[in-house]
Amino acid sequence: MEYTFNTFDKLLDICGSENKKIYEVMQEKEACDFELDINTVRNKVLRNINAMKSAVKQGLNSDEKSLSGLCGDDCLKLKEKYKKNKALFGSLYEKITLYALATMEENLRMNKIVACPTAGSCAIVPSVIIALSEEKNISEEEQINLLITAGTIGYIISSKVAMAGAVAGCQAECGVASAMSAAAAVQALGGNEKQIINAAALALKNILGLTCDPVAGLVEIPCVKRNVFLAIHAITAAELSLAGITSKIPPDEVVDAMLQTGQLMSPLLKETSQGGLAVTKSGIIISKELNKRN
């Protein structure tokens, strides 16, 4: 079916009038746009899920540092911590935080990850979908549905805001990934289409203005830990949405606000490493040491 939508309102209209789920609409759109059958679309999504799982598996067992030597052993530290003291919030929380660190550390080792929506924010969606799928015994078919729904959220936001820290700050990378994950989490927990989109809006509106200020220009500090925090942020948005707590600012308007916030943001805070954490005393020392080494 040839569906055209670039707003959440329009997507919800289609879901309502066609009596379809978000992932059904999106997979049909994708099949139509790229002249594929739906099974081919779903197999492509499954390949991405499998790549995400491989990154998690590999990352959970590695302490190889990044080329800079700044990061790479945090996942193992957290794993050790959980062996001795369980997380306060239980096993889902443990898995999400570990899987997010595992994936981001694989990214900085230059190993294979799925940019989701970007490499710098690659750990949020996988950690939420994989951890929830394990904890809730979610089938492979439903995991595909979850990733398609997450992708739909990203697709709509990207029709207004380019997903790049250099364009709109980290709200357009980790923020969008958190919104995508919140949507997937609501679906995994049985929420309806409105709740799915509302969760994305809740997640997004609470990170508006998030800057991109990577130390030494590397996607390491603060990116690695930020992925962990924003994965958990997604679960909070999902829980609120499932409780019927709605964003008083409609989802499409939240995206408009994100666009405007990105435009108002100083270029110093958009991946130039000329502001924020990158120019703190310690950020500058790290940067100079790396320059000397190179």
- Answer yes or no: are the C-beta atoms of 56 and 99 closer than 8 Å: yes
Q: Which stretch binds ligand SF4 (CB under 6 A): 60-68, 131-139, 211-219, 256-264?
A: 211-219
What residue spans of the chain are helical by DSSP H? 8-18, 22-33, 38-60, 74-84, 91-108, 124-135, 140-158, 165-168, 174-188, 193-205, 223-242, 251-264, 281-293
- Each residue 258-277 as x (binds ligand SF4 by CB under 6 A) or -, in order, gives -------------x------
Q: What are 212's strand-pairing partners?
A: 270
Would you count residue 114 as binding ligand SF4 (CB under 6 A)? no
Assess 100 for contact with ligand SF4 (CB under 6 A): no
Secondary structure of residue 23 in the 3-state scheme: helix
Q: How is residue 11 written in tokens?
A: 């997507």
Q: Is 203 left (phi over 0), alpha (psi -120 to 50) or beta?
A: alpha
Amino acid at 111: N
Vertex 104: Cα angle to 103 and 110 (nearest 5): 95
Q: Taking contact as CB under 6 A, which single stretch among the options 2-10, 62-70, 185-193, 218-226 is the one that binds ligand SF4?
A: 218-226
Minimum CB separation from ligand SF4 for residue 73, in Å? 19
Residue nearest ligand SF4 by beta-carbon distance:
165
Q: Measured from the CB atom, is 92 or 119 closer to ligand SF4?
A: 119
> Contacting ligand SF4 (CB under 6 A), which of 173, 215, 262, 286?
173
Q: Which of 100, 156, 170, 259 binds ligand SF4 (CB under 6 A)?
A: 170
Residue 270 pairs with which residues in a beta bridge? 212
User: Could you say which residues in the range 136-155 bind ligand SF4, by CB under 6 A?
Assistant: none
212 is a site residue for ligand SF4 (CB under 6 A): yes
Rounded to the nearest angstrom, the gap between the alpha carbon of residue 159 and the centroid of all alpha carbons in its chain is: 17
Q: Specify the amino acid at residue 23.
A: Y
Is residue 120 a contact point for ligand SF4 (CB under 6 A)?
Answer: yes
Look at residues 291, 288, 208, 205 and name the one whose alpha carbon lies nearest to residue 249: 205
Residue 222 DSSP code: T
**Shortest approach of ligand SF4 to residue 211 CB, angstroms?**
7
Structure tokens, 249 = 């600012």
Exactly one of 59, 165, 191, 262 binds ligand SF4 (CB under 6 A); that residue is 165
Give the residue, chosen from 146, 174, 202, 254, that forms a contact with ligand SF4 under the rule CB under 6 A. Answer: 174
Cβ proximity to ligand SF4: between 36 and 115 the closer is 115
The reply to whether 177 sits near ligand SF4 by the rule CB under 6 A is: no
Q: Indicate whether 106 belongs to the interface with ligand SF4 (CB under 6 A).
A: no
* Contacting positions for ligand SF4 (CB under 6 A): 120-121, 165, 170, 173-174, 212, 214, 219, 222-223, 271
